[in-house]
């Protein structure tokens, strides 16, 4: 099983091209699965449908949310599908397992007026390297809808100033080209000029670096976004992903095509994008109820 487990991890990395973070989650879920069933690693062929059901019941007893349990089910399903493909099992015990029903939480969105205030108010961003860098980070999140991991991995060569485009490396190493506004082009050019002076002979060509010239990291970017959003918004979670939600929702509210938003976000399925139609629909219903004389 250990060798099988190693092959599975290589499969996730090489064939499925999952991120290290996702692979770590899959590994943790599988270890938990076999430990809870008290099975040794060479007992994959002994796992039955009843075993899987027992595991799910135990997860419920431990107060895991339906969403978390579904994620764990997905991890184990992927593993047993791999085992089936490798002919390590004759029967896949996960075939009849369905995801638990759970209410989907709609994305929290920062209002247009709050973000307008952030970017239009004078002296929010200082007129130096740090201020220009911070503004560029927030503008890129809000104007392109890119993910945190995607922003961190932008390299200088990914910026095409003539075509006004950025090449983004998304999930599973899928590349997409996103358009950028003239405003961001000006900001990017200004930032790159400051960057050359700020870092003496930087060894890395990533667009954003830490203060010591190393590759930027999630906590650093999160801290920057959290600080500025705290100035204009009272939403509880002030993360880069909130700006991605705002990007999609505000585009949809202004009549953008859902398929276009899907491509800009780098979603592989339209189902992932359709959650924003619900956010937009709820806003319309609320406005109607609050405004109509008979609402």
Please confirm, yes or no, whether 71 is among the known catalytic residues: no
- From the list 71, 77, 241, 283, the catalytic residue is 241
Please confirm, yes or no, whether 276 is among the known catalytic residues: yes
Contact 229, 242 (CB under 8 A): yes
Contact 41, 2 (CB under 8 A): yes
- From the list 7, 171, 176, 283, the catalytic residue is 171
- From the list 244, 245, 250, 262, the catalytic residue is 244
Please confirm, yes or no, whether 54 is among the known catalytic residues: no
- From the list 7, 71, 77, 147, the catalytic residue is 147
Please confirm, yes or no, whether 244 is among the known catalytic residues: yes
Please confirm, yes or no, whether 223 is among the known catalytic residues: no
User: What's the rounded Cα separation, in Å, for the pair 251 and 253?
Assistant: 5
- From the list 18, 26, 228, 276, the catalytic residue is 276
User: What's the rounded Cα separation, in Å, for the pair 261 and 295?
Assistant: 31
User: What's the rounded Cα separation, in Å, for the pair 152 and 221?
Assistant: 8
- From the list 71, 77, 176, 267, the catalytic residue is 267
Q: What is the CA radius of gyration of the chain?
A: 23
User: What's the rounded Cα separation, in Å, for the pair 71 and 85?
Assistant: 21
Q: Which residues contact 69 (CB under 8 A, 6 or more apart)?
A: 56, 59, 60, 100
Residues recognised as catalytic: 147, 171, 241, 244, 267, 276
């Amino acid at each position: 099983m250990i060798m099988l487990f190693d092959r599975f991890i290589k499969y996730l990395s090489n064939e499925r091209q999952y991120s290290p973070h996702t692979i770590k989650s899959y590994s943790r879920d599988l270890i938990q699965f076999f430990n809870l069933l008290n099975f040794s690693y060479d007992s994959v062929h002994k796992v039955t449908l009843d075993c899987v059901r027992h595991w799910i019941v135990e997860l419920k007893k431990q107060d895991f949310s339906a969403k978390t349990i579904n994620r764990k089910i997905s991890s184990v399903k992927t593993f047993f599908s791999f085992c089936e493909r490798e002919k390590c099992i004759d029967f896949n015990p996960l075939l009849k397992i369905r995801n638990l029903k759970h209410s989907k939480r709609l994305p929290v969105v920062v209002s247009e007026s709050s973000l307008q205030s952030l970017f239009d108010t004078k002296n929010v961003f200082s007129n130096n390297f740090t201020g220009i860098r911070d503004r560029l980070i927030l503008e890129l999140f809000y104007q392109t809808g890119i993910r945190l991991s995607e922003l961190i991995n932008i390299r200088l060569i990914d910026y095409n100033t003539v075509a006004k485009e950025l090449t983004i490396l998304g999930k599973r190493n899928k590349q997409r080209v996103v358009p950028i506004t003239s405003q961001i082009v000006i900001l990017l050019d200004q930032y790159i000029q400051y960057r050359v002076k700020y870092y003496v002979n930087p060894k890395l060509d990533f667009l954003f670096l830490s203060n010591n010239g190393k590759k930027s990291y999630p906590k650093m970017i999160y801290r920057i976004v959290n600080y500025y959003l705290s100035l204009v918004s009272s939403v509880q979670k002030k993360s880069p992903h909130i700006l991605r939600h705002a990007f999609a929702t505000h585009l949809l509210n202004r009549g953008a095509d859902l398929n276009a938003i899907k491509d800009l976000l780098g979603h592989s399925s339209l189902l992932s994008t359709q959650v924003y139609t619900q956010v937009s629909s709820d806003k319309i219903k609320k406005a109607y109820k609050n405004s109509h004389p008979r609402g």
